[in-house]
Amino acid sequence: MKPEEALKELSYGDTAYGGNCTYEVRMGAIKALKKQIPMKPNNIKSIFDFSGRYYTTKGNCPVCNREGLYKSDFYCNKCGQRLDWEGRNK
């Protein structure tokens, strides 16, 4: 099940997934699932080496605004938000 589908199921209290959970457990699960949906980083910049060749891409977390995240980071190391460096905001 994709995170988007699980979020939809947990949002309703009478479903098989959300019906037996307390409010706090359901809200915690929703918060964790939202972090699994990839978001495009803010302030994306390409970094070049001294020869002018492309080296990497750098950006900021869209949730907590953590600076210094690189294209090799799949998740923010501060808040855990999943990052989408491809530019497709899902």
- Residue range 5-22, pLDDT digits in tens: 777 777 665 555 545 667
- Same domain as 84, residue 50: yes
- Backbone phi, psi, residue 36, to 5°: -85, -10
* Residue written as token pair 């009478």: 14
Q: Higher pLDDT residue, 52 or 22? A: 52
- Same domain as 47, residue 89: yes
- Same domain as 54, residue 10: no
* Residue written as token pair 């998740």: 75
pLDDT of residue 21: 66
**What crossing angle do the helices spanning 3-11 and 23-35 adopt, rounded to 10°?**
160
- Same domain as 74, residue 49: yes
Q: Examine the pLDDT at 82 and tell me if it is beyond 70.
A: yes
Triad 58, 72, 46: Cα angle to 5°: 25
Number of domains, the chain: 2
Q: Which domain holds residue 82?
A: 38-90
- Same domain as 42, residue 31: no
* Residue written as token pair 């020869």: 51
